[in-house]
Amino acid sequence: MKRDLGRQPALFPMPVLMVAAYDENERVNVMNAAWGMISAMDKVTLFIDEDHKTTKNIHQSKAFTVSIADVAHMEVADYFGIASGNKIDDKFEKTGYHAVKSSHVNAPVITEFPVALECELAEVINTENMHAVIGKIINVCADEEVLAENGRIDPAKLHALIFDQFQAGYYTVGEKVGQAWNAGRSLMNQE
């Protein structure tokens, strides 16, 4: 029997995304965002408050990157979530991490994170119920170590972090248990 738990953001898993943009002085700012998703083949949507320093930077620079946090970089990924760029001027520098300017958009690529989506700002949606930043994905770059033989990103090699909104924990992506668009094929043939 199910038990009522009340209103809560009860979706799992949620990605642990590192959103990075330059400020007006070309300084790197990064935030940890779990409320983001692919919203079209070439779009990523981030549901982030407009008062974040990174959000303000995105509005100003019209570009950003979204990196997938991994287990090896969990400590800094969490720091980017608990330290506010509005309060800590040298937030990125404190980590000792490195960034290079994307060759596709005016945004920093954090070199320590294995995968980055390089995005141009496509749209901002601001309603009574949400503030969303939509990016057009111009390029995806990935470390060789996380690529499979077919040249695509291998989730088993990526060790991506996922956020648990139930207990506020971090987990990693586990084993592959099936093949998408094939696991349910037997039901298609039932009459």
Please report, in tens digits, the pLDDT of each residue of the chain (191 residues total).
999 989 988 888 999 999 999 999 999 999 999 999 999 999 999 999 999 999 999 999 999 999 999 999 999 999 999 998 888 888 999 999 999 999 999 999 999 999 999 999 999 999 999 999 999 999 999 999 999 999 999 999 999 999 998 999 999 987 888 889 888 888 887 76
Domain membership of residue 3 (yes or no) is: no
pTM: 0.93
DSSP-derived secondary structure for 136-167: EEEEEEE-GGGB-TTSSB-HHHH-BEEEETTT
Domain membership of residue 88 (yes or no) is: yes
Number of domains composing the chain: 1
Domain membership of residue 6 (yes or no) is: no
Residue pair 61/151 in contact (Cβ under 8 Å)? The answer is: no
Residue pair 30/18 in contact (Cβ under 8 Å)? The answer is: yes
Domain membership of residue 152 (yes or no) is: yes
Structure tokens belonging to residue 19: 């959103």
Question: Which residues are within 8 A (CB) of 92 and not within 5 positions of it... i.e. 6 or more apart?
Answer: 27, 28, 29, 30, 99
CATH of the domain at 48: 2.30.110.10
65 Rama class: left (phi>0) / alpha (psi -120 to 50) / beta:
beta
- Scored b (16 or more CB within 10 A) or e, 148-158 reads eeeeebebebb
Structure tokens belonging to residue 139: 């390029």
Per the structure, the complete domain to which residue 52 belongs is given by: 14-188
Domain membership of residue 32 (yes or no) is: yes
Bridge-partner residues for 33, per DSSP? 17
Output the CA angle 86-92-95, nearest 5 degrees.
130
Hey, is 39 helix, strand or coil?
Answer: strand
Domain membership of residue 7 (yes or no) is: no
Domain membership of residue 1 (yes or no) is: no
Domain membership of residue 2 (yes or no) is: no
